Structure 1
C-alpha cells in the first residue's frame, strides 16, 4: 500500500471511468456526491439504475439522486452550470444486476463499458433483514456474481470494490472478530453441527419452493410472500446467521472470493451505518436503520422496554466515514491482484454501549418530545427498561390476546373487537422487532479494524477523508446531528 505522499486519493480519481451499481441507494449516492465534489475531473461515472429504458433511468437520476438535498453543496459550487456539469459526468444506465451483463440491453453500450471502465463499485443490495429468500439470493448472491462476471470483461479494470456488512461474521461470536475472508461453503455452525453451505443447492431449493407455492391455489400472494420470507430466515439460522440479509451477503462474498481469479478485490464491511457526521450535509440520511427503529418506537411511546443487554457495545459508523474508507481502499489497492477485507466500524476504537445510546434518546426526547396525531406532546418520563421487561411484556400481550380472542369469538366480534385488533398489531410488531434485532442487541463481539488502522497510518492526517471513529464525540453527534437528522429527513 502506498502512502498519501505517493498516491493522493483525489488525484487518483482524475480521468477515471467508474461504474457504480445500486446508485439510487443511500451509500452509493454519498459516494457519487463525494467523488464529484473532490474530483471534478473524473472522466465519467456510469450509474446502473433499475429502469425499463434510458429515459426512465435518466428520470430516476434526476429525481432520486440529483434531486436530493445531499447535492446542495455541489449545486452551490457550480451554480448555474451544475446541470451541464452533472450531465457531462454522470451517465445513467438502465439495467439490473440480477441479470447477466447487468441487464443492459444496448450491446454497443456494453462493449463501451468493457473497453472503458477502470473501477467498479458494487453497492447494490437488499438490506432488508426479513426479505423474501428468492429476492435476497437474486440480488445479494447472483447479483454479486453477475457484477464480477462483468468486471472480468473490463479490459482496463484496476479495482472491484464490493460493499458488504461486518455482520457476515454472524452475531453469536464474542471478542475481537478479525477481518477474515469467507471461504466457499463455510458456515457459522461448528463441531458436530457443522455442515457445508452449497449455494447452488440453495438456489435450487428456492426455485422448487416457488413452484410449490404457486401450485397451491389456496395460498394468497401475501401468504406466498410470507412463506418465502420464512424460508430465508430458516435457512439463515440453520447455517448460523441471524437473518436473510447477512446470510445472503455472506454467500455473495464467498462467490466473489472464490471466482475472482486475479482480479483486484476490496470488500468493505461497514457495521451499522448512520447519518453523515461532517460533510457535505451533517445529519443527512435515507432510511431508518436498526437502532433508529427502536429509537422512534420509543419516542412515539410504542415501546418502553429495550430487548437487549444495555452493557453490550453497539457498533455505529457515520455514512461519510464509510464512503471515505471506500475511496481510500480503492486507491490503496488499485491493480493489486489480491483480495482485501476492511471492517469499517467503531466498536474497537471508540465503543459506545446501548446504555449510553438509551440515555441519549431519553435526554433528547424528554426535552424535544414528539407530538401525537392530536397535536399533544408525547412526553417521555423514563429511560427504556432492559430486556427482561420486554420479554414479560410479550407474555402479557399474548395472554391478553388469548383472553380477548376468546371473548371476541364468543360474542361474534361485538365486544372488544377494536381493542383486540390494536393489541394484536402491537404484539406482532413487538415480536417481529425482537426476533429480528435481539441477535444484535445481545451481540458480544467487536470488529477488528487493523487493516483500516494500517491504512490510516500510511495516509497520515487526511481531513478530507476522515475515517477514524476515534474522532467521533458520541453525545455531540447523536444529540446535535444524528437524531435531528432522522427527524428531519425520515420522519417528516
Structure 2
C-alpha cells in the first residue's frame, strides 16, 4: 500500500512536462522508465538526444531507450498499447547541450519548450575519468551552462535538477564530507598552494592548446588526442582533483550555483553508481563502471593485486536508489528559489570496505569462474591483494621493459619481441589503472547525507521510492544481483 508521501510524489508528476538531457545514458533511462511506470498521466517527457535530425532522434529513442530490457515491465503492463502510450508521452528532441539553445534547430519547438517545460533533469555528462579536456569542458561545464540558460527562459519552470558526483570534493579529504555548495573559483588546494580557478581561463587554455596541436604536423590524430587527455589530468591535479571528470563536474556546479539567480536548483551527488537493486529489473546496468573494471580484470586473471587500504570504505549506491532520490528531491524543493545539495551514497549509513568487496569477488568467481578464449575455465585461487606491492610490481615491469627494450633494439626485434610487446601492454594497462583509480582506493572520506536523511524522515517508511542505503544487504546484492548483472549486460 502506498504511503501518503509516496502518493504525493506520484501525484506531483501528474500532468507535468519534463525535459531530460543525457536521455540515452544509464541513469536517465532508469529515471524515464520509473516516471512512466509510476505516473502514466505525466503530460510529456521531452528527451534531448544527440542526433542529426528528428528522424535520427526517434530511431535512437527506439533502439537505445525503449529497445532495452529495462522497459520490459512497462511493455507487459501496457501490452499491445505500449507503442502508442510511449509515443504519446516521450518526445525525442534532436540537440546537444554543448550548443546554445541545446542545439535545437527548430525555433517553433524551442518556443514550445520555453512555454511548457516545468521540470528540467540534467543528466548529460561525460563520465570518463581520462577524457579529452576539451570534450569534458564542453559537456560538463559549458553544457551545464547552456542547460541553465535554457532553463531561465522556461516560464513555467518549477525545478532544475542537476546530477553531479559526490567526488567533486576530491579524494584527499578524510572524515565526514558535508553537503556543501562549491563557490565560483574554489579549488581543493590549500595554504600557500591555494589558487583561484578561473573557468574562462581554462576554456581559453584549451582553445590555444588545440590550435597548437593542430599546427604541429608531426603529431598524429591519436597523439593530439592523448595530449588533450593529459592536459585535462594535469589541470585537474594542479587544482587538487584526481581526474578530468570530477574536476569538470566541480566546475559545472560552480557555474550553476553562481549563475542560477533565483532558479530552484537541486544538485544530486551520487557516489559510485551500480546496477539496479530492486525495480524494475534487478542487476540491470549498462557498461562496466569504476570498481567493476577491477572486478572484470580480476575475473579474467589480468589483475591479481592493486594498491589500496583494505579498511577504506568503497561508496557504492544502486542506480534505482539514485533515481528515487532524484524524484523525491524534485518534489521536495519544487518552486523553492534556492540551491540544495544532496549526497546519495552508502559510506555513512551502510559502509562496505575495500577488503569486503574483494572478498565478494573471490567468493563469486572461485565458484563461477569466467571462461577463457579457448573455452577453459579461468580458475580463481586467491583473493585480489590490496597492497602497496602493486606499485613495486609497476617498477619491476618498467625495469624489465627497459632491459628487453635494449635487447629488442640491439637485435632489431629478433629476440624477445613478442615478450616485450606483451609486457609493455600489461605495464601500460596496470599503470593507467593505478593513475586513475588509486586515489579512490586510499580515500578516507565519508559522504554526509544529512539532507537526504531529513528527506527520508519526512517521507517515513516507503517502498516505491526506497533510497536508504541502510537497507542494502551487500553480500546478497553483490553475489545475487550485481555481479550476475555485470556478466549479463557487459
Pick the TM interval, shorter chain: over 0.9
Offset at 1:5? 4.6
Offset at 1:290? 0.8
Distance change (3 Å), C-alpha of 1:7 and 1:485: closer
Deviations 1:379-424 (A, max 9, x none): 0000111222211211121121111111111110111111111110
Segment drifting more, 115-124 vs 307-316: 307-316
Secondary structure in structure 1 of the residue aligned to 2:175 = strand
Contact 1:4 1:460 survives alignment (8 Å): no
Contact 1:3 1:458 survives alignment (8 Å): no
Secondary structure in structure 1 of the residue aligned to 2:87 = helix
Alignment TM-score, normalising by the size of structure 1: 0.98
Cα distance in structure 2, aligned partners of 1:271 and 1:307: 21
Which residue number in structure 2 is paired with residue 362 of structure 1? 362
Distance change (3 Å), C-alpha of 1:486 and 1:3: closer
Alignment TM-score, normalising by the size of structure 2: 0.99
Segment drifting more, 384-393 vs 44-53: 384-393
Distance change (3 Å), C-alpha of 1:407 and 1:5: closer
Cα distance in structure 2, aligned partners of 1:149 and 1:4: 35
Contact 1:408 1:417 survives alignment (8 Å): yes
Cα distance in structure 1, aligned partners of 2:167 and 2:3: 29
Which residue number in structure 1 is paired with residue 400 of structure 2? 400
Offset at 1:4? 5.0
Distance change (3 Å), C-alpha of 1:20 and 1:45: same
Deviations 1:276-329 (A, max 9, x none): 000000000001111100000000000000221111000000000000000000
Cα distance in structure 1, aligned partners of 2:3 and 2:73: 29
Deviations 1:146-185 (A, max 9, x none): 0000000000000000000000000000000000000000
Cα distance in structure 2, aligned partners of 1:387 and 1:140: 34
Cα distance in structure 1, aligned partners of 2:95 and 2:82: 26
Secondary structure in structure 1 of the residue aligned to 2:464 = helix
Cα distance in structure 1, aligned partners of 2:4 and 2:340: 19
Cα distance in structure 2, aligned partners of 1:439 and 1:403: 30
Which residue number in structure 2 is paired with residue 478 of structure 1? 478
Offset at 1:2? 17
Offset at 1:7? 7.0
Secondary structure in structure 2 of the residue aligned to 1:52 = coil
Unmatched runs of 5 consecutive residues or more in structure 2: none
Secondary structure in structure 1 of the residue aligned to 2:285 = coil
Contact 1:19 1:45 survives alignment (8 Å): yes
Contact 1:2 1:458 survives alignment (8 Å): no
Contact 2:6 2:464 survives alignment (8 Å): no
Contact 1:170 1:241 survives alignment (8 Å): yes
Distance change (3 Å), C-alpha of 1:74 and 1:431: same
Deviations 1:180-226 (A, max 9, x none): 00000000000000000000000000000000000000000000000
Contact 1:130 1:245 survives alignment (8 Å): yes
Which residue number in structure 2 is paired with residue 308 of structure 1? 308
Contact 1:4 1:458 survives alignment (8 Å): no
Which residue number in structure 2 is paired with residue 285 of structure 1? 285
- Deviating beyond 3 angstroms after TM superposition, the runs of 4 or more aligned structure 1 residues are 1-7
Deviations 1:96-129 (A, max 9, x none): 0000000000000000000000000000000000
Distance change (3 Å), C-alpha of 1:41 and 1:437: same
Cα distance in structure 2, aligned partners of 1:186 and 1:39: 40
Contact 1:30 1:323 survives alignment (8 Å): yes
